[in-house]
Structure formats: C-alpha cells, structure tokens
C-alpha cells in the first residue's frame, strides 16, 4: 500500500471508531437518564401519593410550624403558610367535630435547606414515630391553604380549603443524580394540590 492509501485507510478507521464510541457514550447517557427518571418518579410517586391520600381522607386540618422539632403551633390569622400540616383523621360521631388527639403530622425539616437537603417527615399520633418521606428538597418548603380560585386563605381556613405545597428536588435518590447545572435535569419539581373529599368535621 502506498502512503496515501495508508493515510486514507487510517482516516476511515478513525472515523468509524469515533462514530461507534460516540454512539456508545450516547447510549450510556440515555440509559442513565432513564434510570434516574424512573427512580425519581418511583420514589416521589409513593411519597406524594401517600400525602395526597391522607389529605383527601382527612376530616379537617391545620397549617402551622414546628417548635423545637416536636411541638406543632398553628399559624394565626393573617398568615398564609407554614412548614407543617396537621391532618385530623377522625370525627366524633355525636357532634361531627374532629378528634384532635388523632392526627397525621407532615412537616418540613429546613435545618439543612441551605445545603439543598430539606426533608419531609410524617408523624402518626398512634405511635408517635417519625418517618422520613422525602429528602434532597430545596426552595419553598411550606404548606398553604387556598380557596377554589387558588387565592391564599389568610383568615378563615376551613376543611373546604385546598392544601398546596411545592416539592423541588436538588438530586434524585435512586440512582443518586444531581439536578441543576451540569446535571441530567435542569430542575425537578412536583406541585401538589388536594382537598378533603369526605369532610364531615368542622
């Protein structure tokens, strides 16, 4: 083979090998993208579905804050948001008033929100045990009560209100994948709105 033929053959081989490697890298990135999306969707689906189910099953609710990480304090009139949501599960049959001793308490732990690792916890009054529902949360970690038009209820919050929260993730947990600059996804956010479907409490 002449020098020209060798050069042409080498150029063709480099082109073919480069094309195969590019296709392989693209396939690996696409697989990682799908794994991250499927993992995030599954993790979020379970936790968010549980939250929405509990809201729709509630007889009444309060929005407030957590003092010392253990004591729930309901927000006052004029305030439209809080980091905790207290759902009352039982209505006393004699007068249709909620039983305040039976509840589910969802609350955001914002102590690590600056490092984009806010968490959502659930406490059941039956056993008092706390369970982490979501992690790697950032940005707006609070619950609001809205009317049917989407306007915040700052004075009269009733069981007919719509509970609204936004869950924005800094990374996917399964598999661990960052979200944002240089990540596979620019952002990942879930908007949750729900209202009790069987409100017979006051």
pLDDT along the chain (202 residues), means of 10: 75 80 69 60 74 87 82 79 87 67 89 79 87 82 86 68 85 62 67 75 46
| Residue 5 domain flag | no
- Can you give the pLDDT at residue 92? 63
CA dihedral 57, 160, 193, 81 (to 10 degrees): -110
User: Is 135 among the domain residues?
Assistant: yes
Residue 24 belongs to a domain: no
200 within domain boundaries = no
Cα(42)–Cα(148) distance, integer angstroms: 30
Which structural domain range is residue 110 located in? 43-194
Overall domain count for the chain? 1
Question: Is residue 20 assigned to a domain?
Answer: no
In this prediction the pTM is 0.70
Question: Is 10 a member of any domain?
Answer: no
Within-domain flag for 34: no
Residue 28 lies in a domain: no
CB atoms closer than 10 angstroms to residue 94: 6
pLDDT at 70: 73
pLDDT of residue 85: 92
CB 24 within 8 A of CB 32: no
In this predicted structure, what is the pLDDT of residue 3? 74
């Amino acid at each position: 083979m002449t020098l020209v033929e060798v050069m042409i053959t080498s150029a063709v081989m480099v082109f073919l090998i480069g094309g195969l490697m590019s296709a392989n890298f693209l396939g690996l990135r696409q697989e990682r993208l799908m794994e991250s999306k499927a993992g995030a969707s599954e993790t979020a689906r379970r936790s968010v579905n549980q939250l929405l189910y509990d809201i729709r099953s509630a007889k009444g609710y309060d929005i407030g804050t957590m003092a010392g990480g253990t004591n729930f304090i309901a927000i006052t009139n004029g305030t439209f948001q809080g980091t905790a949501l207290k759902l009352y599960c039982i209505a006393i049959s004699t007068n249709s008033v909620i039983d305040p001793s039976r509840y589910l308490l969802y609350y955001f732990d914002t102590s690590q929100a600056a490092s984009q690792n806010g968490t959502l916890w659930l406490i059941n009054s039956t056993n008092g045990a706390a369970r982490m529902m979501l992690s790697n949360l950032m940005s707006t970690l609070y619950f609001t009560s809205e009317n049917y038009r989407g306007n915040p209820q700052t004075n009269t919050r009733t069981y007919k209100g719509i509970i609204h929260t936004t869950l924005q993730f800094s990374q996917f947990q399964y598999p661990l994948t960052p979200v944002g600059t240089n990540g596979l996804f620019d952002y990942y956010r879930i908007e949750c709105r729900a209202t009790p479907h069987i409100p017979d409490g006051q």
